Amino acid sequence: MKGKLPNQGQRNMFRPVLKEIINPNHELVILSQQIDWNEFENSFSPLYSHTGQPGVPIRTIVGLLLLKRIYNLGDETVMEQWLQNPYYQYFCGESEFQWEYPCDPSDMVHFRKRIGEEGAEKIFQLSVQTRKKEIRTKDVLIDTTAQEKNITYPTDAKLLIRVIQQCNKIAKLESIIQRQTYKRTMKKLLLKQRFAHHPKRKKEANAALRKLRTIAGRLVRELERTLNEEALKQHTEQLINLNKVVSQKRLDKNKIYSLHEPSTSCIAKGKVHKKFEFGSKVSFAVVPRVNIIVGVKNFNGNPNDTSTLQPALDNVEKISGIKFKNAIVDRGYKGKKEVNGTTIVTPRPPNAKQPYSKSTMRKECRTRAAVEPVIGHVKHDCRMARNYLKGTIGNDINANLAAAGFNFRGLLKKIKEEILWAIFYIKNIIESNGQNLSFACS
């Protein structure tokens, strides 16, 4: 059942009123007045039942999600900060200072599952609509990046160890007596497999890896023989993944890099410090100069950048309602010159035929570099450097919420600058009037 904020028409004599202790010109107070909270209420209310215990108010839980992304906090830490900070409480719709947590941190997990990808996209769309007046150009910058999953760096030995452990876990769960669990053997083989790159240990390490693969395959086949039909149906998907890990080779496609995140892909972006990244590919569309993200699209797998252009531009038009004239991209998008009426601008050799002059083309392509720091800030300031949300739906939700957090973060910065400018302007007027008054008196 949908929760409601308490009707606080009558003042509580035992709790301080937030408006009496906060600064009305604080950036969070002004931002809370600019966001259309009724839009969230109308969008998310149909997702709740009309019966049962009331849940957390939509205004409160959406405010917590935004604060988490804006200030780079976790589900637990945002609760602690909310309890201490009256501005956080006012932003989430409270009118009186609260002394208890607004909800359990797990409620944020349930709410993300409730709204899904469409709900996260709605939050991102509202962040764009709030800043739509700042968009005054017909150019958009597009680039892709890797959104890393929260998994360990995958190696053959690690994956085979996990296969053995999961086989033992399934056998224990289904009360199957195994011929051997290989727990002690597994530890010895794992030690032998260490430092496999060393010339003196390479032979022994490769032999240990082959032995691990043999043991893993033996345990998987034993489970397939001994499980009854009902248990076999229950663990079918898991057994398919286990078999795939045991049989996959170095040059195979669509390999499994994590058993708890089987949709993870290997992405090579050509970075010197990080040769491979494991997660999903995300396309960002950024408005130059104002640095507003107007489109974010997650792609499972590792598609070519050129094939992501049309879905990315469709997403931009859906979210912002604007059809941009030019999309400025890097050389990774070579091959397409126009998509749905949008001209694709890529760096070209100086002698090539192009619709722009040489200086204009150079200026446009230099502008494209502005998308790189935006992606960096989204990753490290808005919790997209490591994706902790599970599954392919978690990839979409995390990307949309991170982009929304970045847009609101930029709006907070702008509000703060306007407040400081107004303070200095008034101060200068007062000082100049004071000097004129002193001259008149003398």
Q: Is residue 33 part of a domain?
A: yes
Cα–Cα dist 158/162, whole Å: 6
Domain that holds residue 32: 18-128
Q: What is the per-residue pLDDT for 356?
A: 60
Q: What is the per-residue pLDDT for 84?
A: 94
Q: Is residue 345 part of a domain?
A: yes
Cα–Cα dist 253/243, whole Å: 15
User: Which of these three, 229, 256, 283, is where a domain ends?
Assistant: 256
384's tokens: 């997209």
Q: 372 and 284, same structural domain?
A: yes
233's tokens: 């149906």
Q: Give strand pairing partners of 144.
A: 283
- Angle between helix 58-70 and helix 37-44 axes, rounded to 10 deg: 120
Contact 310, 327 (CB under 8 A): no
Would you write out the chain's pLDDT as a tens digit for each of its 442 residues? 788 776 656 677 778 889 989 999 999 999 999 999 999 999 999 999 888 888 899 999 999 999 999 999 999 999 999 999 999 999 999 989 999 999 999 999 999 999 999 999 999 999 999 999 999 999 999 999 999 999 999 999 999 999 999 999 999 999 999 999 999 999 999 999 888 889 999 999 999 999 999 999 999 999 999 999 999 999 999 999 999 999 999 999 999 999 999 999 999 988 888 999 999 999 999 999 999 999 999 999 899 999 999 999 999 999 999 999 999 999 889 888 899 899 998 887 766 666 566 777 778 788 889 999 999 999 999 999 999 999 999 999 999 999 999 999 999 999 999 888 777 778 788 877 766 655 555 5
**Nearest CA to 327 among 96, 297, 335, 341?**
341
Q: Is residue 399 part of a domain?
A: no
Q: 243 and 285, same structural domain?
A: no
Q: Is residue 278 part of a domain?
A: yes
User: Which of these three, 256, 286, 303, is where a domain ends?
Assistant: 256
Q: What is the per-residue pLDDT for 167?
A: 97
Q: 315 and 175, same structural domain?
A: no
Q: What is the per-residue pLDDT for 149?
A: 95
DSSP-derived secondary structure for 69-103: HHTT--HHHHHHHHHH-HHHHHHTT-SB---S-SS
Q: Is residue 223 part of a domain?
A: yes
Q: Is residue 250 part of a domain?
A: yes
Q: 47 and 94, same structural domain?
A: yes
Q: Is residue 336 part of a domain?
A: yes
Q: What is the per-residue pLDDT for 336?
A: 85
Q: 377 and 277, same structural domain?
A: yes
Q: 112 and 49, same structural domain?
A: yes
Q: Give strand pairing partners of 387.
A: 149
- Helix H or strand E segment including 143: strand 139-148
Rounded to two decimals, the pTM is 0.90
Cα–Cα dist 60/64, whole Å: 6
Q: 354 and 214, same structural domain?
A: no
User: 321 φ, ψ to 5°?
Assistant: 75, 15
Contact 166, 181 (CB under 8 A): no
Q: 222 and 118, same structural domain?
A: no
User: 284 φ, ψ to 5°?
Assistant: -115, 140
User: Which of these three, 357, 388, 419, is where a domain ends?
Assistant: 388
Q: 26 and 122, same structural domain?
A: yes
Cα–Cα dist 361/339, whole Å: 19
Cα–Cα dist 69/91, whole Å: 14
429's tokens: 């007027």
Q: 354 and 288, same structural domain?
A: yes
Q: What is the per-residue pLDDT for 437?
A: 52
CA atoms 390, 392, 393, 395: torsion sign: positive
Residue 332, sorted as left (phi over 0), alpha (psi -120 to 50) or beta, turns out to be: alpha
Q: What is the domain count for the chain?
A: 3
**Residues 6+ away with beta carbon under 8 Å from 69:** 382, 383, 401, 402, 404, 405, 406, 408, 409
Q: Is residue 406 part of a domain?
A: no
User: 280 φ, ψ to 5°?
Assistant: -135, 165
Residue with token string 């007045």: 33
Contact 409, 21 (CB under 8 A): no
Q: 251 and 175, same structural domain?
A: yes
Cα–Cα dist 36/8, whole Å: 20
Q: 237 and 193, same structural domain?
A: yes
